[in-house]
Structure 1
Amino acid sequence: MTTTIRYLPAFEDRTASLPLRLMLAPVGTAPALLDGAWWPRSRDLTAELPALTAVLDPLWGRITHVTVNPTFWPTIPRKVPVDGHVVGVGWFKAEQDPHKLLLFSYNVGRWDLLVIPPETSPATAARLMTEAADPLGILTARALMDEAEQRRIAEEMELSLVSVWDSEGGHEASLPTDSRGLPPA
């Protein structure tokens, strides 16, 4: 299932289309390590959780509690007011993957979402959301993020090598020639 979290941007920005921010595994699929991915716009739980629960409450039942690892969240409020109720927030440093958000509902149970850092490029975020929502996925949240980081480093190295190649003449470098303009024999 794919869902877009809507928010009210600045007036002049309201007609702009927003990138996809949440992707969930298809309903009725076998349980996987992750139930989907969330790409918040900031690391402010007080600002981000209301939009997330507004989408998930109708799908999964009222979200009553969430837990995070404090590694990537600068401030963790104990409670966050959302549409008509309060969501309790807890944290576990050693016990919870820093790239995962756990959501709890009295009605249905628990869901695990990969949290994609807000500064992630749209292309990388889209790939991570797709992988996290794959019902056949076998990677943990940490493994997905480690893989994305390795890919980013490899792409930067490749760009760096191409840049060096081009700055040193690259494919346009001329071969030594003799007085007639022919390569030496």
Structure 2
Amino acid sequence: MSATTDHPSPRAVPFRAPTARLALKPVSPSSGQAELDGAWWPRSRDLSHELPALADVLDPLWGRITRIAVNPRYWPVIPQRIFVNGHVVKVGWFTSELDPHKILLLSGTSGRWDLLVIPPETTAPSAARLMAAASASTAPQSTATALMTAEQADEPSTSWDTDADADADTGRTDYLAAQMRPFAPPPRP
């Protein structure tokens, strides 16, 4: 065998876009803790599958994510832990302390992050409006449930409380991934 055929030639690996559908609020040094830091639109209600994709994107941006908390109202199964970037992230749940439309992520280095959770069965136009509202830096502070209630009033045919076992992938195009602005790592004090 010749020296040129001993090893395969290196191949370029294409960039893989983040799999989590996110919109993050820009953080300014003068702003205090906002009610929401952005929005997340998971593709399903399977947290074992969805949380690693979310934390995988946020971990390098926000600092090592160590804990995640959800309200179990819309999640049929909540894993106790997930693996992200070579470390374990503990997952817990709170029923009365946490808004059912919000997820809480904790980082030992940068603090707390709150994201609106847009139900997977939400239509793309509705999700786009919710993501824009939750990530707008100039928008008045609003709770996750208040945003969802306002959107439901605008889209009365949308059911936020659909069966958790229903198939979330209904063939809608994921135009949000193409239209969302790129997010920069938000600096935290």
Indicate whether the TM-score tops 0.5. Answer: yes
Partner residue of 2:136 out of 131, 134, 137: 134
SS of the aligned residue for 1:137 comes to coil
CA distance in 1, matches of 2:122, 2:35: 22
- Aligned to 2:156, the other structure's residue is in SS state helix
TM-superposition CA deviations, 1:113-161 (whole Å, max 9, x none): 0000000001110110010012233210000001111111189xxxxxx
1:6 paired with 2:18, answer: yes
Aligned partner of residue 36 in structure 2, secondary structure: coil
Please, which of 87, 107, 110 is the counterpart of residue 108 of structure 1? 110
Letter in 2 for 1:6: P
Per the alignment, in what secondary structure is the counterpart of residue 146 of structure 1?
A: helix
Per the normalisation by structure 1, the TM-score is 0.71
Q: Matches of residues 154-165 of structure 1 in structure 2 within 5 Å? A: none
* Structure having the larger proportion of residues in helix: 1
Structure-to-structure mapping, 1:63-102, within 5 angstroms: 63-102=65-104
Letter of the structure 1 residue corresponding to residue 116 of structure 2:
L
Q: Does the 8 A contact of 1:5 with 1:21 survive in 2?
A: no
Query: How many residues were matched structurally?
Result: 140
Name the SS of the counterpart of 2:125 in structure 1: helix
Q: Percent identity?
A: 57
Alignment gaps of 5+ in structure 2: 1-15, 159-189
Alignment equivalent of 1:151, drawn from 148, 151, 154:
154
Rg bigger for which structure? 1
- The runs of 5 or more residues in structure 1 that have no matched partner are 8-19, 156-185
**Deviating 4+ runs (over 4 angstroms):** none
Deviation at 1:5, TM superposition (A): 6.2
Cα distance 1:69–1:57, how it changes in 2: closer, same or farther (>3 A)? Answer: same
Normalised by the length of structure 2, the TM-score is 0.69
